[in-house]
Amino acid sequence: MKKVTNYNNKKVLVMGFGISGLNAAYLLRKLGAEVVANDQATPKDPSIIEKLENDGIKVLTGSNPLSLAEDNFDVVVKNPGIPYDNPLVAKFVEKKTPIITEAELGWQIFEGHLVSVTGSNGKTTTTTLTQLMIAKNNSHRVKYAGNIGVSFSKVAAELGPDDTLVTELSSFQLLGTPTIHPHIAIITNIFSNHLDYHKTRENYINAKLNITRNQTSDDYLIVNWDRDEWQKIAQRSRATIVPFSRQNKSHKGSYEENGKIYWRGEYIMDAKDIRLIGPQNVENALAAIAAAKLSGVANQEIIDVLTSFSGVRHRLQYVTDYEERRFYNDSKSTDIEATEVALQGFEQPVILLAGGLDRGYTFERLVPYFKKHVKAIVVFGQCKDKMKDAAEQAQIPTIIESENAITAVPEAWKVSEPGDVILLSPANASWDQFPSFEVRGDKFIEAVNTLIKEQEEK
């Protein structure tokens, strides 16, 4: 961990008691800061507050009192999910108090080699593949952290100057990272996500581009080259651009051509041998390959990872086979684009489980994918009527309404046949019925296991 003195005797407010917030609070105390920790909710576990207070941290829960803005905080460390129009945050913006996220704090204490991944879809899979590949060819520690569910600052504090940290960074995190400087940055893709938070697509793009803001020509920005817009966005970086392309649009990085994977003209493997299914996972693999090759990883080590890694939980995760039906959990598909690419990964007939939080948009874009891939659909959640409308436009012969992703499982089973795929890929956020996409996916898996048990007991 890098020796940092700029927080000594500084007054810092930490907003949010998530994994990142709690670790930020403890780290700031170690760095000599006077810390106040605030959360709008009161933790159900009283030991959280007790531990904070025992560490000398002042704790305020149950609201974000505007009176905190009158205190002379030197820095605010904000949970990424708290929007900037939150009344308390807006007060600090007005006062021009520096507002950072825990990722920035992690970067400030990190002294090793940083690889960072962002994008609308594929971040977690790409982060995981990249970490596995680089670790194959490294005598030093190679860890992952960030939006992948592991505290950036906690892992950064454990690593030394020869170690590597591969970080997944969301647009929310990147808004609060003024000095972060990865040597290798990856942008998997940019769609139109989180516009309720960012307000405009340009704001969203600008947040993503913070990953490369401090890079120079000595650094690398790995970018998906398959859309003209993404190519133009890349030109806003000062880093050396390394493209990856599934559509064979550039040979200057990693690419797929005629079903084969290459790195700058050098054959690595056949795309069909990648264990993860779907075209989106070929893209994720290409991005990880570029980072691995720039890090000196040998081809065979790359092949070993891509032929053995079976997927990240909730991201087109294979669950099980039962009576010649195959179940997949793609609960992380919280937008239309993610469900589009999920459906393209299957040649078998799909029974799709879809629906969730109504964010105001409709699903006409899914109609051609429904026509090509979906034999039956079970819809649920706030937007089930809109999803049903798209299914009717696609003339899906079997459309079933259900309460949620759990009750949808036996409904899907009833209309399934041997050779079918039963796929949870909701195309919507989970918050109308579940606290997170992870909980939704876990409940789906539980429902699949319950279904199988009941079938075997008959």
Same domain assignment for residues 41 and 150: no
Average pLDDT over residues 26-50: 95
Same domain assignment for residues 65 and 179: no
What 8-state DSSP symbol labels residue 43? Answer: P
Q: Binning pLDDT at 50, 70 and 90, where does residue 176 land?
A: very high
Q: What is the pLDDT of residues 424-449, one digit of tens each?
A: 999 999 999 999 999 999 999 999 99
* Torsion angle of C-alpha atoms 368, 370, 375, 379, degrees rounded to 10: -160
Residue 160 lies in a domain: yes
Residue 327 lies in a domain: yes
Same domain assignment for residues 338 and 434: yes
Structural domain harbouring 54: 11-100
Cite the annotated binding site by residue number.
Answer: 119-125
Residue 247, judged by CB atoms within 10 A of its CB (0-12, 13-18, 19+), counts as middle
Q: Are 297 and 129 in contact (CB under 8 A)?
A: no
Q: Binning pLDDT at 50, 70 and 90, where does residue 44 land?
A: confident
Residue 1 lies in a domain: no
Which of residues 58, 76, 100 is at a domain's end?
100
Q: What is the pLDDT of residue 341?
A: 85
Which of residues 72, 100, 128 is at a domain's end?
100
Residue 426 lies in a domain: yes
Same domain assignment for residues 326 and 414: yes
DSSP string spanning 132-192? HHHHHT-SS-EEEEETTTB-HHHHHHH--TT-EEEEE--HHHHTT-SS---SEEEE----S
Same domain assignment for residues 276 and 153: yes
Which of residues 66, 100, 134 is at a domain's end?
100
Same domain assignment for residues 280 and 424: no
Q: What is the pLDDT of residues 329-380, one digit of tens each?
A: 999 999 998 899 899 989 899 999 999 999 899 999 999 999 999 999 999 9
Q: What is the pLDDT of residue 313?
A: 85
Buried b (16+ CB within 10 A) or exposed e, 105-133: bbbbbbebbbbbbbbbbbbbbbbbbbbbb
Backbone angles phi, psi at 428, to 5 degrees: -150, 155
Same domain assignment for residues 430 and 292: no
Q: What is the pLDDT of residue 312?
A: 84
Buried b (16+ CB within 10 A) or exposed e, 50-64: eebeeeebebbbeeb
**What is the spatial order of strands in the sheet that 240-245 belongs to?**
142-146, 164-168, 113-118, 184-187, 220-224, 240-245, 254-257, 260-263, 266-270
Same domain assignment for residues 56 and 169: no
Same domain assignment for residues 334 and 301: no
Buried b (16+ CB within 10 A) or exposed e, 161-179: eebbbbbbbbbbbbbbbee
Same domain assignment for residues 84 and 125: no
Q: What is the pLDDT of residue 388?
A: 98
Cα distance between residue 168 and residue 149, in whole Å: 9
Q: Binning pLDDT at 50, 70 and 90, where does residue 190 land?
A: very high
Buried b (16+ CB within 10 A) or exposed e, 24-38: bbbbbbebebbbbbb
Distances in Å between the alpha carbon of 390 and those of 40, 309, 415, 431?
Answer: 38, 34, 20, 22
Q: What is the pLDDT of residue 194?
A: 81
Tokens at 412, concatenated: 């899907």
Cα distance between residue 221 and residue 203, in whole Å: 20
Half-sphere exposure of 179 (CA within 13 A, CB side): 11
Average pLDDT over residues 255-263: 98
State the chain's mean pLDDT as an integer.
96
Q: Binning pLDDT at 50, 70 and 90, where does residue 104 land?
A: very high
Helix (H) or strand (E) holding 328: strand 325-329
Residue 311 lies in a domain: no
Buried b (16+ CB within 10 A) or exposed e, 301-324: bbbebbeebebbebbbbebeebee
Q: What is the pLDDT of residues 107-123, one digit of tens each?
A: 999 999 999 999 998 99
Q: What is the CATH number of the domain that holds 28?
A: 3.40.50.720
Q: What is the CATH number of the domain that holds 138?
A: 3.40.1190.10
Same domain assignment for residues 204 and 75: no
Same domain assignment for residues 108 and 59: no
Q: What is the pLDDT of residue 8?
A: 97
Average pLDDT over residues 52-60: 97
Tokens at 188, concatenated: 């998997």
Distances in Å between the alpha carbon of 403 and those of 80, 411, 448?
Answer: 31, 11, 16
Give me the amino acid identity at 304: D
Q: Is the pLDDT of residue 321 over 80?
A: yes
Query: Measuring CA to CA, which residue among 187, 230, 237 is closest to residue 212?
Result: 237
Q: What is the pLDDT of residue 420?
A: 97
Q: Into how many domains does the chain fold?
A: 3
Other beta carbons less than 10 A from residue 253's beta carbon: 23
Q: What is the pLDDT of residue 417?
A: 97
Cite the annotated binding site for ATP by residue number.
Answer: 119-125
Residue 275 lies in a domain: yes
